[in-house]
Amino acid sequence: MRQYPIEKYRNIGIIAHISAGKTTTTVCVLYYTGRTHKIGTLEKGTTVMDWMAQEQERAMTIMAAATSCYWQIEGEEYRINIIDTPGHIDFTAEVQRSLRVLDGAVVVFDGGTGVQTQSETVWRQADQFNVPRICFVNKMDKVGADFEMDLESIWKRLSKNALPLQLPIGEEDNFSGLVDLLKMKVLKFEGKEGEIVKEEKLPKELEEKAKVWRKRLIEKIAAEDEGLLEKYLSGKEVSIEEMRKGIRKAIIKCKFFPVFFGSLFKRIGVQPLLDAIIHYLPSPIDLPPIKGIDPRTGELIERKPLDTEPFSALAFKIMADPYVGTLTFFRVYSGYLKRGSYLLNTTTGEKERIGRLLRMHADEREEVEESFTGDILATVGLKNTSTGHTLCDSDNPIILEKITFPEPVISIRIEPKTKADQQKLGLALKKLAEEDPTFTVKGDLETGETIISGMGELHLEIIVDRMKREFKVEGNVGRPQVAYKETIRETAEAEGKYIRQSGGRGQYGHVFLRLEPKNRGEGFEFVDEIKGGIIPKEFISAVEKGVKEAMEKGVVAGYPMVDITVALYDGSFHEVDSSEFAFKIAGSIALQEGAKKAKPVLLEPIMKLEVISPPEFFGTVIGDLGARRGKIEETEDRGEMKIIRAKVSLAEMFGYATSLRSLTQGRGTFTMEFDHYEQVPANIAQEIIEGKRK
């Protein structure tokens, strides 16, 4: 039996730059909704959401955690399903997969710094999935907190469609409350934990400023709603209820992003934020039906968010739990499911039994008997379901859009400390790779070593630490290495021939390939241009396999090749001697030959860097970035500090944290994220090649 109607569901994520206050926002929300009875702190490792030992030690979120709570507004109770996401760029996959399944998001900003690098990244990820958002500017009590600067940075770097629904009263230490622009009232927060919200009359000195901002707000909302525009232009008063409806409509279309203010430290602003989540963010039924492909016909089909529709859900996260085994988190888009049912995984074509249904509260599990449209739940023991797989009713199959993840940019070599750890190491790495799509494991055929790759030094450090704690495996770790790639700059053709006679039946494979460069980030494409059966169909996939294998080790320095179109346009075969193996080898030979002719080059990961430095060290920091092959893109003042934005090669950034600290007497900080791959300068490429040959 459904406890809450679907229109009373809110599936939201809390997203932000690291240290803006995402987890504290979630913790305060859980406290005010009565889900928890005290507000923990990150510094003491007492927040409910950061339950991993690594999170508590580092006072940062590493893994997205799900929970749910209930909030009453105007006598009606609503269920809020929350996913609290990490802010560090190394764990960007957690944000990506969470946003894919959420209906709305709260973007948290630091009132003293406004929009930061990772704020931009999560905003772009939300844009990609068309997620309606509300903005919450935290830390308005912080030194340097500035209402105008915060808004200015949102307009400049994220969206012109953001406007405040509240005004802060006082700044920095004097921040004491909020002005509600809809009600034109002052909100004060009293009691031990700010749990008592009092509405007071707007004082004269704030009236003028509030009227100006309210007018801007009404004009913006009226521009998105014809009925409201007509009423506003004819000079009639627009009611609070009409404004709320207009705001909600504009937010759901991603045409408007309201800005709220507060201080989690002073316990100001959380209850109005909860009201805003209910008033303005969509329920599953407010959004268009989910679209997918019918695997039987290949046609586009859709599922409405109703319990009466056939069941469909997307598995968006896999987690290794030491007590229950593998947990699969899924979001239900349509239909109803009872514990013990069988579902079809349309991605693999296999059936899975749903033995247990769990509602998660961080690392705590609550057993439920059934799930409904809009639910975010977990199940245990699915054998062949991974991140991005679709689970659905076997009589009405559908394949939902997968989740795409960025490529790893940094690698390290790892080996077990003892012979006994050998098997355990392989098992631990396999489990961690299933859980995290941005973490990959492969073996180096030449040296026999295991190479693990991830999104950054911290990412791999956490992986190694988890192996030790959760899987009891010790490993010797090499120095971090950049994940270089190779590509070609020109079109070239090449022949690949593999002929072997060995007494009995021989081997014969013969192909002609054309290699063409593609734009950066477009990936690999194989084109079959064979006509008239010059090469039989069954050998063409073997050629593609050979090409892919050869691309794993490029011709410049042995790094994987990317962004290439390979066309198979001619060849020949032998009635008796031709085999899949022979054509695979021929494809591999032709690829290597063609790549040598097509002006191959090395590519390196380029990072987007933001450095915050005191003004007296500004020149020193700029000079150091120049020495690291950095390209300065812009600089600006933010309060007392200087902000430097640059693009810089990852290879030059190892140990930068220590360098920056010594250059700025420990006062400089930086954030860095992957941006794109770019050709390595010739002199540096030569050093890399020679380093490889040694």
The answer to the question of whether 141 is labelled as a binding residue is yes
Dihedral, CA of residue 109, residue 112, residue 117 and residue 122, to nearest 10: 0
What whole-number distance in Å separates Cα of residue 660 and Cα of residue 663? 5
Distances (CA, A) of 266 to 44, 88, 193, 194: 18, 25, 8, 8
DSSP 356: -
Residue for token pair 């002005």: 179
Taken in order 672, 677, 683, 686, the sign of the CA dihedral is positive
Distance in angstroms (rounded) separating the CA atoms of residues 404 and 406 = 7
Q: Do the annotations mark residue 139 as ligand-binding?
A: yes
* Cβ(646)–Cβ(631) below 8 Å: yes
Contact 495, 486 (CB under 8 A): no
84 is in an annotated binding site: yes
17 is in an annotated binding site: no
Cα angle: 317, vertex 323, 328; to 5 degrees: 20
Number of neighbouring beta carbons within 10 Å of residue 304:
15
Answer for the pair 262, 138: CB distance below 8 angstroms, yes or no: yes
Terminal Cα distance for the chain, rounded = 68
- Residues 675, 60: Cα–Cα separation, whole Å: 23
**Residue 88 annotated as lining a ligand binding site:** yes
CA 354 from centre of chain: 27
What is 160-214 written as a DSSP string? TTEEESEEEES-GGG--EEEETTTTEEEEEESTTS-EEEEEEPPHHHHHHHHHHH
- Alpha-carbon separation of residue 569 from 489, 506, 507, 677 (angstroms): 20, 24, 21, 30
Q: What is the dihedral of CA 108, 114, 120, 126, to 10 degrees?
A: 30
Residue 215's CB is within 10 A of a number of other CB atoms, namely 12
Residue 574 is given by DSSP the state -
Q: Specify which residues 66 forms β-bridges with.
A: 83
HSE at residue 188, side-chain half, CA atoms within 13 A, is 8
Residue 87 is assigned to a ligand binding site: yes
Please check whether residue 8 is in contact with residue 75, taking contact to mean a CB–CB distance below 8 angstroms. Answer: no
140 annotated to bind ligand: yes
Residue of 497, 566, 493, 556 whose CA lies nearest to 527: 566
Q: Give the residue ranges of the annotated binding site.
A: 84-88, 138-141
Q: Give the residue ranges of the annotated binding site for GTP.
A: 84-88, 138-141
